[in-house]
Structure formats: C-alpha cells, structure tokens
Amino acid sequence: MSNITGDFLKRAVGRKNKGMSVPGILLLTAATVFVIISPQILSNYRLNLIITILRIAYLAQCWNLMSGYCGQFSFGHAAFFGIGAYTSSLLYTELGVTPWIGMLAGMAAAGVIGSIIGVLSFVYNLKGDYFALVTLAFAEIFRVIARNTPFLKAAQGVSITYKKDWTQMQFSGKAGFVYFGLILLALITLFLYILQRTRTGQYFIAIRENEDAARALGINTFRYKMTALVLSAMFTAVAGTFYAQYYLHIDPEIVFISEVSVDAIIPCILGGVGTVFGPIIGACIIEPVSEFTNVHFASLPGMNMVTYGLILVIVIIALPNGVVGLADRIREKRARRPLSPNATEGV
C-alpha cells in the first residue's frame, strides 16, 4: 500500500512543482532588489502601487495555499481579511493594544472562524461550487453583521489615528510598508516553497488532484483540508491588519466585499494556480493594468472589474495553466526539440 501511495503522490505532485529556470530566478532576484531600493528612487504614487502589488500578491498566496494546493476553491476570503482588519483595529482604538499583538489576535480569530466553516462544510462533504458558495455566504454574513453592530462602529467603520510609530505598525513614510509587505510576501512564499516538499504539502496536492483516490489510499482528507483552510484563514487575516494600518480606515463595504476575494483569486489564475511564484507574477501583471484603467477610465466606474473579467476569460481560454504553465510548456518543447544535423556530426 505504501508503494501505491508513493506512486500516486509522485504523479499528483510532479506536474506543477517544477523548479524555476535560471532566467526566472534572475528575474525574481532583480525584482526583489528593485523593490528594496524603490523608496529611494520612486515617487509616493509609484510606491503606493508597489505596496498594493505586495499586498495583493501576499493575499493571493494565502488563497493559493488552500485553493491552489488543496483544491478547496474559496470565494469568501474577504471574511478572513475583514476579521483580521477589525480585530487588530478595534483592539488598538478601544484598548490601546499594539497592532503587532492585534495581528496575532486577528489570526487566531480568523483561524476559529475558518475551523467553523471547515467543520460545517467538510463534515457534509461540500466541495466545488457548493463550498465556494458557503465561503461567499460567510463573507456576506460578516459584512451584514459589521454593518449593523454598534460595537463594530456599524457602517461608519473604524478610523485609526496616525501616530508615526513603528511600535504601532505605523511608519514615517511608505518605505516601511514597502519593506513590511516584502517581508510578508517573502515569508509566505518561502512557506509554500517548503510546504510543497513536505508530506503534508504532497497530501494537499493529492487531495486536489483526486480526493476520492487520496481517501482510498488512507489519507485523512478531512484533517488536511481543515489544516489548509485554517492556515489560509490565519495568514489572510495578516493582510487585513496590514491594510488597516496602511489606510487607517476600514468599514464593512471595504474589507468584507467580494472584490477582496476577487483580488486574491485573479492573480493566482493569471500567474498559475497551485504554483509557488504564479500569484506573484499574476499580481505584478494585474495591478498595473487595474491602476491604468482606474486612471484613464475614471469616468467609467467598475472598469477595473470589467478588465478583470476580460483578462480572466482570455487566460482561461489561452493559458489554462497561467503564465507559469506557459513558461513550463515552452521549456518542455525546447527540451523535446530534436538536435540539429550539425550537432550530431561528430557523434
């Protein structure tokens, strides 16, 4: 049985877990160096775009952990994002608790809610569209609760006083948020890189590829789906805290809306679902495009969502495995290309 399980895992994991090419590594290194030096060479407007890209890429990696690797498609990550934002913000404004601690509390709260969603869904074997609808419903439930609860400041939201103190997760300029966002993105990317090489990560991918076969081979699918969901929820809450401390204001129509979940999903689909670097590539493409449409089509509200839809349709049709999948396909074609006659003359 162990040999059969091992063969199944190898087939399930092998397709999407190829290492980066040398050009890819060089490009990633160059991009990282550019982000590090960006506060010294770019305007605040450009830095704001970089911070947004880092935040969206991090959020996409959180979604990728559960939906990309474990195959549990979620359309409600806005729930965890909003929980993280509200928990840290209320602890800070009402009790004076530093957001560094509030961020951990938000992770714990999101983990609890993730556990509840998981138990209610996985016990009844909800999957696919049904699970996606459940997560969407929870996000909407929390939006309605936050909008109508005085303790949560209802529709007016929570405003945070700017104190320019790093101990309160507030920095004197945008450089602090650039570096903080880069650290968060690097940590979760490293986590995913290591995860896919562990047995837990292999079980995640086996469940994604064929949950029934994974269960038949003795994998505790409930346990590992719960693990993926709780981890994804906790990490997503961090993005909510980051957002709150950067913009200094949150309300239900900002942090609990479906657009937050879309921001997590689109970069993954564009870059490559279930890949380590796909969400980062997707964020680096989609956010500049979104910014372009917001600036040049400001008279057309919602144009960025229309752009998202068009890009999504094009990618699904032309690049079903995303940009990373296209790069892998090109490498495979080059590897299979027959040697030229001149290359075999001396043999």
For each of the chain's 347 residues, which pLDDT tens digit applies?
444 444 544 444 444 555 556 666 777 788 888 899 988 888 888 999 999 999 999 999 999 999 999 999 999 999 999 999 999 999 999 999 999 999 999 999 999 999 999 999 999 888 888 999 999 999 999 999 999 999 898 889 999 988 888 889 998 889 999 999 999 999 999 999 999 999 999 999 999 999 999 999 999 999 999 999 999 999 999 999 999 999 999 999 999 999 999 999 999 998 989 999 999 999 998 888 888 877 777 667 777 677 767 877 887 787 777 888 777 667 667 666 665 555 555 44
334 occurs within a structural domain? no
What is the rounded CA–CA span in Å between residue 229 and residue 8? 23
What is the rounded CA–CA span in Å between residue 167 and residue 226? 34
What is the rounded CA–CA span in Å between residue 215 and residue 299? 52
- Cα angle: 102, vertex 252, 122; to 5 degrees: 75
Number of domains observed in the structure of the chain: 1
What is the rounded CA–CA span in Å between residue 139 and residue 195? 27
Query: Phi and psi (nearest 5°) for 292?
Result: -60, -45
Helices 221-247, 174-195: axis angle to 10 degrees equals 170
CATH number, domain of 65, equals 1.10.3470
The answer to whether residues 274 and 208 touch, using CB atoms and an 8 Å cutoff, is yes
310 occurs within a structural domain? no
50 occurs within a structural domain? yes
339 occurs within a structural domain? no
> In Å, how far are 22, 30, 135, 288, 326 from 27, measured between CA atoms?
9, 5, 36, 18, 16
33 occurs within a structural domain? yes
303 occurs within a structural domain? no
Residue 243 structure tokens: 């957002």
Sign of CA dihedral 236, 240, 242, 246: positive
267 occurs within a structural domain? no
Residues in the chain: 347
For the chain, where are the E strands, in sequence order? 158-159, 249-250
How many angstroms from the chain centroid is the CA of residue 316?
Answer: 19
Sequence-separated contacts (24+) of 201-206 with Cβ below 8 Å = 201/13, 201/69, 202/9, 202/12, 202/13, 203/9, 204/69, 204/70, 204/71, 204/228, 205/9, 205/12, 205/13, 205/16, 205/17, 205/69, 205/70, 205/274, 206/8, 206/9, 206/12, 206/13
27 occurs within a structural domain? yes
The model carries a pTM of 0.88
Give the domain extent around 26.
2-257
